[in-house]
Amino acid sequence: MAEGSDVNYWTLVTIVGPIILLGVMIWVLTRNRKSKIDPEITERATRENYAAEQREHERDPNSGL
């Protein structure tokens, strides 16, 4: 730092940092809206995955170890 510099960088960080963080949070919230996929489709896929896992477990009981 220059000797004649009156800039307090910690003040700058504590003011600009939260402003940037708030901006990022707002951006994330606007991008992360409710999924456009029908919930029934995801529920059906989940049930299918659980059924496949159960079939695999019934074939080989030691597969989960």
Categorize the per-residue pLDDT at 36 as very low, low, confident or very high, splitting at 50, 70 and 90: confident
21-59 residues labelled b (16+ CB within 10 A) or e (exposed): eeeeeeeeeeeeeeeeeeeeeeeeeeeeeeeeeeeeeee
The residue that leads in pLDDT, 6 or 21, is 21
Two structure tokens written together for 2: 């220059």
* Tokens 């220059």, residue located: 2
- Return the closest-CA partner of residue 53 out of 42, 63, 43, 44: 63
Stronger pLDDT, 34 or 47, i.e. the higher one: 47
Task: Quote the percentage of the chain above a pLDDT of 70.
Answer: 82
Question: Does this model's pTM top 0.75?
Answer: no
